[in-house]
Amino acid sequence: MIFDEELQQLLQYSDFQPRFLEDIKGLKNGNVNSEINNSDIEVNQRYCQSPQCRFLFVYSNSGSSNIDFLSTFAYLSIKLNRTLVLTNVGQSRLDSCKKFPFEFYYNIEYLRKKFHRLSFTSQVHFQNWTRERFKEPNFHYLHFTSSSSSSSFDQDEDDEHIENIKLNDRSVKRTNCLENFKMKFNSNFTSFEKIIFKSRLSLNSFGGKKLSKSLIKNLEGSNSEILLINYDIKRETFHPVSVKYLYSQHIYQEAWEIKMALKPFIAIYWNMIGITDATILSNCAEKLINALKGLRENYNLNNIYLSTDYPISSDFTSFRHITKDHRRAINLLSSTVNINTWSSFDAFNEIRQEKGNHEEFKGTGIVSILDKLVCIESDYFITAPSECSSKSTNDFIKEIISTRQVLDDDDNQRIQNIISRW
């Protein structure tokens, strides 16, 4: 996540409406590329209200969480005076190959208010711009990654904090559906490079600030019409800025309906698919059943909601890595306790019926967001102990914990715990 002293001012909540690309006015022109002819200037004026367009397009985010991605690149776009392309979404990822528009997961109106100095546009709008151009727009390709082998961090050192490596353009031509965008891949003037972050610098706020300034300094001199970025940093590189209430309204509505139908209720999160020894899952299920009985007696909580990576929908009877031990544990749980899930509530029924949306509801994507919101709002939240789970903690759990902590600090009388393990 980007860290900078100006960040809080840039991201301050405001009723001021941002410059969404279709409505933008008075965008700073900058230096118009001499290669752009009159026809392309007309196209630019229609799409950007300026003789020159300047986009920042992260076509693949295979590293950080989507929220980290958004805060980081919204900030970079503001600092670099570029329009952020809101990349498509699907199956919990931001990626140019995904079929759903950004607003399928996220709230555009909230984005307008939260990042009030940000210019942004949809992926389809950006794609249309590349296709209408007479001359293909130029771009500067960047692969962001991190190195775990960098030397220990010294706050007094004055070395460079990012390393640049030139790349061969052939490695990026046909990845992540880039062939759908008409860009100048064959130009001798196109820059392809990898930016490697010295990962130890991200361990404190001082290092995060230095990385932020180094990155901005590296990119602000680019005159390319597009900064084309592959973001492949597996851990949080910059320090976080909280972005709350960002999800689309239709997801909040589904979560609210489930909460109102169940309250008061217990929410369970069980990540079981990748567990090393699946033979212990039945024993884990028995321990969970006993824990639920105790919670029913102590807190008078009878309703239960289950979030799991097990394919609970009847639409997916076969699933990779599912064994008889997985099925036995789930059958034991469901035959002993009345379990509610997003599937039993028939959530997103209309969307699920649409052709081509089948993959989105295999337990990731929009379902994962819904589960997270329901778990946050539960009266009591429990998750599996380490021996019963493939991951005892992850971004899903971390976000639930942090949000429930805020609810508890606000003296929410309904919240009985932050997190417990059975």
Per-residue pLDDT, averaged over 251-280, amounts to 94
For the residues of 30-86, what is the DSSP string, one character each?
A: -PPPTT--HHHHHHHHHHHSSSS--EEEEEEE-SS-HHHHHHHHHHHHHHTT-EEEE
Count of all residues that appear for the chain in the document: 422
Q: What is the largest CA-CA distance in the chain?
A: 76
Tokens of 353: 């019926």
Instruction: Classify residue 400 as exposed, middle or buried by CB count within 10 Å of its CB (0-12, 13-18, 19+).
Output: buried
Per-residue pLDDT, averaged over 194-205, amounts to 61
Kindly report which listed range (2-11, 80-89, 280-289, 410-419) carries the lowest average pLDDT score. 2-11
- Beta-carbon contacts of 369 under 8 Å, excluding residues fewer than 6 positions away, are 105, 247, 251
Alpha-carbon distances, residue 35 vs 41, 46, 52, 130, 137 (angstroms): 10, 18, 11, 15, 9
Kindly report which listed range (84-93, 234-243, 408-417) carries the lowest average pLDDT score. 234-243
User: What is residue 417's predicted lDDT score, i.e. its pLDDT?
Assistant: 95
The percent of the chain in helix, strand and coil, each rounded to the nearest 5, is: 40, 15, 45
Q: Is the pLDDT of residue 117 over 60?
A: yes
Closest Cα to residue 57, out of 69, 67, 41?
69
User: What is residue 226's predicted lDDT score, i.e. its pLDDT?
Assistant: 96
User: What is residue 19's predicted lDDT score, i.e. its pLDDT?
Assistant: 41
Beta strand pairing status for 420-421 and 303-308? unpaired
Per-residue pLDDT, averaged over 209-230, amounts to 86
- How many whole angstroms separate alpha carbon 25 and alpha carbon 41? 16
Buried b (16+ CB within 10 A) or exposed e, 229-258: bbbebeebbbbbbebeebbbebbeebbeeb
Percent of the chain residues topping a pLDDT of 70: 77
**Higher pLDDT among residues 31 and 300, named by residue:** 300
What global pTM score does this model have? 0.82
User: What is residue 124's predicted lDDT score, i.e. its pLDDT?
Assistant: 97
3-state secondary structure at position 229: strand
At 283, is the pLDDT very low, low, confident or very high (cuts 50, 70, 90)? very high
User: What is residue 130's predicted lDDT score, i.e. its pLDDT?
Assistant: 97
- How many whole angstroms separate alpha carbon 53 and alpha carbon 30? 9
CB 364 within 8 A of CB 308: no
| Residues 354-397 pLDDT 10s | 888 888 887 678 999 999 999 999 999 999 999 999 877 787 89
Beta strand pairing status for 55-61 and 19-20? unpaired
Mean pLDDT of the chain: 81
| Residues 14-69 pLDDT 10s | 333 334 444 433 333 344 455 567 899 999 999 999 999 999 999 998 766 677 77
At 203, is the pLDDT very low, low, confident or very high (cuts 50, 70, 90)? very low
User: What is residue 317's predicted lDDT score, i.e. its pLDDT?
Assistant: 46
CB 224 within 8 A of CB 139: yes
Please, what are the domains in the chain?
7-231 (3.40.50), 249-421 (3.40.50)
Report the amino acid identity of residue 291: A
Tokens of 183: 């860009």
Percent of the chain residues topping a pLDDT of 90: 48
Q: Is the pLDDT of residue 249 over 70?
A: yes
| Residues 152-168 pLDDT 10s | 444 444 445 667 677 76
**Higher pLDDT among residues 67 and 241, named by residue:** 67
Closest Cα to residue 214, out of 313, 339, 79, 346?
79
Q: Is the pLDDT of residue 151 over 90?
A: no
Beta strand pairing status for 191-198 and 162-166? antiparallel
For the residues of 165-204, what is the DSSP string, one character each?
A: EE--GGGTTTSTTGGGS---TT-TT-EEEEEEEEGGGGGS
User: What is residue 23's predicted lDDT score, i.e. its pLDDT?
Assistant: 40
**Higher pLDDT among residues 175 and 85, named by residue:** 85
Q: Is the pLDDT of residue 341 over 80?
A: yes
Phi/psi zone of residue 132: left (φ > 0), alpha (ψ -120 to 50 degrees), beta?
alpha
At 190, is the pLDDT very low, low, confident or very high (cuts 50, 70, 90)? confident
CB 195 within 8 A of CB 163: yes
